[in-house]
Homo-oligomer: A and B are copies of this chain.
Amino acid sequence: MLDPEKLQHYLQLFPTLSGDDLFQLLSLARPRKLEVGEFFMREGESSPSLGYVLEGLIRTWHCNEQGEELTLSLSYEDTVVASHDYILYKHPSRFMYQAMEPTSLLVMSYDDIESLMAKHPSFEVLRHYFIMNLLGASVKRLESFILLSPEERYQQWVRERPGLVQRVPGKYLASLLGITPVSLSRIRSRIARAKR
């Protein structure tokens, strides 16, 4: 399920968590596999499920009034995928979560986790850790919009996710960076020209 190395890694991260605790948490998880194009979650669902990506790629997107698809995030190996709307506001999801590659996940019910929390405060550390990770990522990305130009934002994205750019169609990456596919194409050619 989760390979021993990673288990070891997480156990080290949380000294207050016993192996038994982690086992208990993982027992709430069930594996799930998605084909290309299949949905982890659809718009309108209020699914309290939380996924941990073992392998593959899931795109979170949204269709605006003009019928354009806007990509808000990508979840790949060792990242979490979950309905922001549910976790933050207990609202039905405004977004679609769709696999772009064959994907395998560990899925847990968010409510199960919360009730385990209530019984077992030691898990709080774990939840806090993940939420701080989410917050950190969100703030960092926010900073990239304020501090960086689209071109720099692209370069940073590529630099920090080695190999991922090959797996993501440009039009989704463009949307993720807040620009158009045409503009991304120009940025790429500008960079290539500068290198020569």
Contacts and interface: CB of A to CB of B under 8 A. Distances in A.
A43 to B, nearest CB: 15
A134 B139 CA distance: 10
A193 B121 CA distance: 57
A141 B142 CA distance: 7
- A interface majority secondary structure: helix
B178 A136 contact: no
Interface stretch (A30-38, A49-57, A143-151): A143-151
Interface of A: 62, 64, 70, 72, 84, 87-89, 121, 124, 127-128, 131-132, 134-136, 138-139, 141-143, 145-147, 175-176, 178
B70 A146 contact: yes
B146 A72 contact: yes
A128 B121 CA distance: 13
B143 A142 contact: no
B178 A88 contact: no
